[in-house]
């Protein structure tokens, strides 16, 4: 841990930053999880059919990111080998102690939901794959049960409804909880706020939608697949709505600090106008919020009159800007809260590391790992729809395009 150069009076133990890049990355990753899951639920549960082309991908993306959500935490711990203490002896009064259980419950729900969505395809691929080596893999994924009769599917659907109804609050819980970790720290005036969980959740949704939108367009460009204009429009619309609520709350939080002007505002004002000026006012507010608000607003207002190419370009650019917005917001909260001392009289000149255990490179590697999982997944199971979208040469027999069952159309993607 570095001993940073300080300005003013910083309490001796606070000349260090204890939570760095990894703790910025952790809420960023869980945010993408929550947002991607909401997108898939908008299709699966709330009948938003325009989002059907990305609903499976969003679910897989949520799962892939969730697999690595613990990695930044483990990398940050002083004793990662003791990490399971959080589940062995959880302290009920600690907000953090819930993490192990909330995380594993949500991971389980998400895994089962994906499993149910893909079960028919898994069984079909087990029976018809051209690669004998993959057969045991599909058999394991099917848990050895190859029953895809209509009755079995009906049971699956019932379970899915139950899981989805648990999954949405669980996704909100997982991310609202991350906000609570910060918002419930009364020792830190920059963090302590009941708005924190809500802001974290909404910015999580924004980042998840942005990531799904960005990946959908870019991967379809790379694979020369046809991009569904309605889907991109719906994604932009969803991102726009959530961005508006998110930014409104973020500004409310800041304005409230300024208007109440408590003892701590003297230093918080210097913080936001000084050390956080670029990451807050330039990246988070101007580039990440104001620009996407107007650009995506143009798409939302003019709908079909927007040329497809322009819409896709806007989707990619705004996706990047929104991801930057949320990354900056995480940075401003996590690092901003540690850049000033609890003496309320001094600042740290924090410099981010490039190398090292908690450096930027380690962070970038962790951010890339979910995409490796998504790639491996895409070789085993189709990302953008049913097994019929898989390359023909991978299977001995292509299944007929499935007809939606009456009354259950939303679950047959």
Partner 1 sequence: MRHAGHFVRLLALVAIAVVGFLYVRSLVVPKDFGVKGHYRLSAIEDEAKREARHIGSDACAECHDDIGAAWKAGKHHTPQCENCHGPGLMHTKVVAEEPTTGYPDPILKFNNAIKRPTGIMECKWCHLKTFERPSTLKSISSVREHVESHHGTYTTETLCIDCHNPHTTVVTLPKLAASSKAPVAK
Partner 2 sequence: MTSLHSPDDVSRRAFLEAVAKTGGQSFLFGSLFVNTALLRLPQVEAGAKARAESETGKGVIYGFVVDTTKCIGCGSCVRACRAENGVPEGYNRTWVEQYTFYRDGEVFVNSPNGGEDGFAEQLPTRNRPSGDEAPMRGFFVPKLCNHCIDTPCIQVCPVGASFKTDEGVVLVDHERCVGCGYCVQACPFGSRYLNPETGTADKCTWCHHRVVKGLLPACVVSCPAEARIFGNVSDPDSKISRILATNRVQVLKSFLGTRPRTRYIGLDSEVI
Which CB atom, from 262 or from 403, has the smaller least distance to partner 2?
A: 262
Which CB atom, from 160 or from 333, has the smaller least distance to partner 1?
A: 160
Is 174 within 8 Å of 103 (Cβ atoms)?
yes
Which CB atom, from 77 or from 145, has the smaller least distance to partner 2?
A: 77
Site track for partner 2 across 194-233, x = CB under 8 A = ----------------------------------------
Which CB atom, from 99 or from 240, has the smaller least distance to partner 2?
A: 99
Q: How far is the CB of 150 from partner 1 (least distance, A)?
A: 9
Stretch (H or E) spanning 347: strand 345-348
For partner 1, the binding residues (CB under 8 A) are 84, 87-89, 91-92, 108, 112, 115, 119, 142-145, 147, 149, 151-152, 154-155, 159
307-312 long-range Cβ contacts below 8 angstroms, 24+ apart: 308/227, 308/229, 311/229, 311/232, 311/233, 311/236, 312/217, 312/221, 312/227, 312/232
DSSP states along 106-155:
HHHHHHHHHHHHHHHHHHHHHHHBS-GGGHHHHHHHTTT-----HHHHHH
Does position 185 interact with partner 2 (CB under 8 A)? The reply is yes
The total of other beta-carbon atoms located within 10 Å of residue 288's CB is 29
Going 135 to 139 to 140 to 142, the CA torsion angle's sign is: positive
User: 361 touches which of partner 1, partner 2, none (CB within 5 to 8 A by kind)?
Assistant: none
Does position 128 interact with partner 2 (CB under 8 A)? The reply is no
Options 342, 353, 378, 380; binder of partner 2; rule CB under 8 A: 342
Is 358 within 8 Å of 21 (Cβ atoms)?
yes
Near partner 2 in 258-277, by CB under 8 A: 263
**Count of residues binding partner 2 (CB under 8 A)?**
45
Q: Which stretch binds partner 2 (CB under 8 A): 27-35, 75-83, 303-311, 401-409?
A: 75-83
Q: Which stretch binds partner 2 (CB under 8 A): 16-24, 36-44, 284-292, 294-302?
A: 16-24
Q: Which stretch binds partner 2 (CB under 8 A): 3-11, 239-247, 305-313, 364-372?
A: 3-11
Q: How far is the CB of 95 from partner 2 (least distance, A)?
A: 7
Q: How far is the CB of 85 from partner 1 (least distance, A)?
A: 8
Q: How far is the CB of 318 from partner 2 (least distance, A)?
A: 34
Is 49 within 8 Å of 24 (Cβ atoms)?
no
Q: How far is the CB of 219 from partner 1 (least distance, A)?
A: 31
**Rounded to whole angstroms, how far apart are CA atoms 369 and 52?**
25
Residue 19, by phi and psi: left (phi above 0), alpha (psi -120 to 50) or beta?
Answer: beta
DSSP states along 268-279:
HHHIIIIITIII
Residue 344, by phi and psi: left (phi above 0), alpha (psi -120 to 50) or beta?
Answer: left
**Rounded to whole angstroms, how far apart are CA atoms 129 and 124?**
8
> Residue numbers of the site for partner 2 (CB under 8 A)?
1, 3, 8-9, 11-16, 18-19, 73, 76-80, 82-83, 85-86, 88-91, 93-97, 99, 181, 185-188, 263, 337-338, 341-345
């Amino acid at each position: 841990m570095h001993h940073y150069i300080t300005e003013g009076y910083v309490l001796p133990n606070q000349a260090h930053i204890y939570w760095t890049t990894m703790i910025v990355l952790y809420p960023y990753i869980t945010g993408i999880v929550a947002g991607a899951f909401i997108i898939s639920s908008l299709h699966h549960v709330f009948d938003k059919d325009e989002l059907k082309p990305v609903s499976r991908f969003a679910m897989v993306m949520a799962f892939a990111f969730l697999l690595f959500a613990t990695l930044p935490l483990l990398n940050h711990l002083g004793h990662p080998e003791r990490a399971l203490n959080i589940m062995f002896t959880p302290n009920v009064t600690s907000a953090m102690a819930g993490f192990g259980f909330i995380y594993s419950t949500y991971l389980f729900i998400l895994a089962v939901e994906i499993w149910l969505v893909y079960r028919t395809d898994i069984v079909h691929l087990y029976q018809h794959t051209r690669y004998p080596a993959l057969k045991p893999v599909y058999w394991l994924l099917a848990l050895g049960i190859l029953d895809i009769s209509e009755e079995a599917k009906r049971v699956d659907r019932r379970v899915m409804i139950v899981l989805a109804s648990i999954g949405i609050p669980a996704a909100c819980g997982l991310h609202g909880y991350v906000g609570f970790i910060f918002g419930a720290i009364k020792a830190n005036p920059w963090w302590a706020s009941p708005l924190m969980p809500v802001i974290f959740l909404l910015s999580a949704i924004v980042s998840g939608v942005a990531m799904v939108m960005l990946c959908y367009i870019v991967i379809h460009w790379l694979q020369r697949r046809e991009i569904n204009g309605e889907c991109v429009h719906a994604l932009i619309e969803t991102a726009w709505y959530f961005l508006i609520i998110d930014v409104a709350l973020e500004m409310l939080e800041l304005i409230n600090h300024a208007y109440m002007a408590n003892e701590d505002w003297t230093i918080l004002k210097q913080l936001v106008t000084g050390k956080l000026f670029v990451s807050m006012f330039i990246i988070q507010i101007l580039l990440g919020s104001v620009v996407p608000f107007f650009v995506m607003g143009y798409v939302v207002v003019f709908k079909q009159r927007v040329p497809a190419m322009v819409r896709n370009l806007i989707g990619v650019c705004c996706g990047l800007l929104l991801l930057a917005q949320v990354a900056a917001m995480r940075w401003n909260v996590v690092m901003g809260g540690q850049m000033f001392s609890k003496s309320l009289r001094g600042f740290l000149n924090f410099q981010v590391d490039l190398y090292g255990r908690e450096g930027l490179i380690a962070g970038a590697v962790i951010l890339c790992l979910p995409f490796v999982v998504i790639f491996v997944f895409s070789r085993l199971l189709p990302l953008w729809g049913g097994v019929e979208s898989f390359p023909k040469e991978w299977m001995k027999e292509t299944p007929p395009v499935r007809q939606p069952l009456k009354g259950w159309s939303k679950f047959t993607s």
